[in-house]
Chain A
Amino acid sequence: DQVLHIVPETFQQVQHLQHLCSTLLLDLWKPLLPQDIWAGEDLHIRVPATLVKEVKDSLDQHMISYKVLIPDVQELVDQSMPRERSSHRQVAEGYVYTEYHPMEEIYQWMTRIQESYSELVTQHSLGKTFENREMYYLQISQPSDKAKKIVWMDCGIHAREWISPAFCQWFVKEILQNYKSDPKISRFLQNLDLYVLPVLNIDGYIYSWEQERLWRKNRSPYNNGTCYGTDLNRNFNSSWGSVGVSYNCSSEIFCGPGPESEPETRAVAQFIEQKKSDILCYLTIHSYGQYILTPYGSTTEPPSNSEELMFVAKQAASALIGKYGTSYQVGPTSLILYNNSGSSRDWAHMIGIPFSYTFELRDNGTYGFLLPSDQIQPTCEETM
């Protein structure tokens, strides 16, 4: 089907077009009714594929010039489908984990997860974002009489890295759907509690859905509202502001006016600080690049337990490559990537959390931040 754009020049042309539309029952997009067709006014008609030639011949015969506005309507419809699907409301059981979801749906998902798995899951708030949104995390904890250590995972600290929140949601689903049947998961939950924050930078995430897909930072205003956003992963109190940052708000790696200047950073830092003696492992999920990064970014001095950190990370990377052949590089950020200070991972390690890792998920730059949704499943499966 094609959509044609015509501007009739004479009354005779208008008459002919009205005749054509009524006899062939053509779909008028603009105006809506044949009687509203006027000379000098834009006319948009959708012509079914089978009638395209006939209509064009007729227009040529009557010396009516036209332009093809949309050469293939079906193509456009197909293109818009994924977006339509993601605005449908999702039920917990029918939730589509292989699609990207806007924040509203993620909030609804968290509520439903807690309801469906209330024997294990509780939802809590860490605080509020700059734009006053609640920062909810899910606590997955099997009731037991022994005190358990904690594994913390946060996703979505950088708005544009959509595969990251998608992974947190997938991870929660996998754990909850399989904890009774999978011996590894079952043993895991007997000994450890899981705390998952699916979207840390909620304001930024929403902004990347509604305004600018490649936005990275949060949304706090600076310079009298002429500039927005601090890079939350440069805002933690770990050698803050020393290297790999910018002091200029317009930069993507603006570290903020001071360490923990941002409400989101404070909310997370306060919580982790409070629980630090029980936290065994801190994981923060990003994209892209395919790395498992260990401390530090601010210095090449190795952390005290660097051998152990590397050993565990290498095991993770080999398990990962075993699934679909996706290779991940392992090592300290300062050596294999670039220098940066104020990262959450460095901070977690500095306050005493022994295992602290940044995961940079798929891919290697082919799609970068715009990872197609058909890669959500394999990415999440291999990362499990």
Chain B
Amino acid sequence: QDIADVGHKYHLELVLEDVLAKDSTVNCTAEVLYHLGHQPSAPEVQVTLQGELRNTAEADNVFYNRVKSLDQELVAENIPDSQGTVPPALEPLHLLAWVASGYLIWQNSTESTKLQLAQVKRVQQVRRSDEYLEFDYLVLLHEMVSQEIIPWQMRVLWHPQHGVQVTEDRHQPQHRLQ
């Protein structure tokens, strides 16, 4: 739908599939409005779920407690690795990166881009005195049209009851290893 002087609006009907429980699906509808104009701005999105998302409180708490009880800050690199493997213990960090990159992708998408998380290059836990968990991520995003791999740094806050937040992010300069 073209909205004169405003932008392009898309009406979508989607089926959401739970990555960890493939038979769990939820229908949803969405409206996405890409604004016209020279100032790049994130598309406006409205989503309506026709059903409920699976409850993950138990698994969230297990991961939360595990990380809280470590003596040293968690550090990891290359998730997945070159062979596509993710060690089971690092799977939650991978999923967290995925969710958080979803935010980055939303904020940086246009009608001519298709961004995906390609790899978590590095993740480092940041110690906090409050109940939140904080991670500093360097992720690689793949943009389909230009085929570019874009490194992006982001700070992610998470708590089982309070959800995910991206508190800062920076598009890294691309460097080429010669």
Contact = CB atoms under 8 A, between A and B. Distances in A.
Contacts of B119: 213-214, 370
A228 interface: yes
B109 interface: no
A79 B87 contact: yes
Interface residues of B, number: 30
A250 B85 contact: no
B57 interface: no
Interface stretch (B8-16, B76-84, B158-166): B76-84
Nearest to B149: A214
A72 B83 contact: no
A250 B176 contact: yes
Interface in A312-328: none
Contacts of A371: 84
Contacts of A373: 83-85
A369 interface: yes
A107 to B, nearest CB: 20
Contacts of A289: 144
A44 interface: no
A266 B119 CA distance: 33
Contacts of B39: none
A25 B168 CA distance: 48
Contacts of B87: 75, 78-79
Interface of B is mostly: loop
Contacts of A67: 71-72
Given A83-B83, A213-B82, A228-B178, A251 B71 contact: no
B68 interface: no
A270 B177 CA distance: 32
A253 B84 contact: no
Contact of A227 (B86, B147, B176): B176
A83 B78 CA distance: 14
Contacts of B82: 83, 100, 209, 213, 370
Nearest to A289: B144
Interface in B89-129: 89, 116-119
Interface string B139-156: 010101111110000000
B21 interface: no
Interface of A is mostly: loop
Interface in A94-116: 99-100
Interface string A204-233: 000001011110100000000111100100
A100 B83 contact: yes
Contacts of A375: 84
Contacts of B89: 72, 75
A370 B120 CA distance: 11
Contacts of A72: 89
A71 interface: yes
A207 to B, nearest CB: 9
Nearest to B116: A365
Given A213-B82, A216-B147, A252-B149, A368 B71 contact: no
A370 B147 contact: no
A49 to B, nearest CB: 15
B83 A212 contact: no
Given A67-B72, A368-B118, A82 B145 contact: no
Given A214-B149, A338-B145, A367 B19 contact: no
Contact of B140 (A83, A214, A252): A214
Interface in A323-367: 337-338, 365-367
Contacts of A31: none
Interface of B: 19, 70-72, 78, 80-87, 89, 116-119, 140, 142, 144-149, 174, 176-178
Given A79-B85, A252-B147, 13 more contacts: A67-B71, A68-B72, A71-B72, A75-B87, A209-B82, A213-B82, A214-B118, A227-B176, A228-B178, A250-B174, A370-B80, A370-B83, A372-B84
14 contacts: A68-B71, A75-B87, A78-B87, A226-B178, A228-B176, A231-B147, A252-B148, A253-B146, A365-B116, A369-B118, A369-B142, A370-B82, A370-B83, A370-B118
The 8 residue pairs across chains A and B that have the minimum distance between CB atoms: A372-B84, A365-B116, A252-B147, A370-B84, A370-B80, A82-B83, A213-B82, A214-B149
